[in-house]
Amino acid sequence: MAEPSWYGVRCVFRHRELGVYEERVTLWTAHSPDEAIGRAEVEALEYCAALGETEYTGFAEAFRMDGAPGVGAEVFSLMRESELSPGSYVGKFYATGRERTG
């Protein structure tokens, strides 16, 4: 069997008390994207149980990394087709003004 690869897995959560959604990217070694997602989903349920009032939405995406994590390593990437201008795209999907960062 081949050596496992590193994967970044993005899962989405809803924090009911705060009224916010959270995207988390966690790192896993696995032999396939499905295996990495399975491991991340087990951790997602543990994360929810530890926090309380938090639910896992059931949405997960995996990204296979080239090599092992290190300084400057790309741990997740997503490409989306869009006709929007860069400013409109960022405003629609990322910088809506409703984010909580920090």
Look at residue 102 in the predicted model and tell me its pLDDT: 66
- Residue 96: the pLDDT is 79
User: What is the residue extent of each domain of the chain?
Assistant: 5-93
Rounded Cα–Cα distance for residues 102 and 100 (Å): 7
Please give the chain's pLDDT, 102 residues, in tens: 789 999 999 999 999 998 889 999 999 999 999 999 999 999 999 999 999 999 999 999 999 999 899 999 899 888 888 898 998 988 888 887 777 776
In angstroms, rounded to a whole number, what is the distance separating the alpha carbons of residues 17 and 12?
A: 16
- Note the pTM of the prediction, 2 decimals: 0.84
The amino acid at residue 54 is T
What is the reported pLDDT for 94? 82
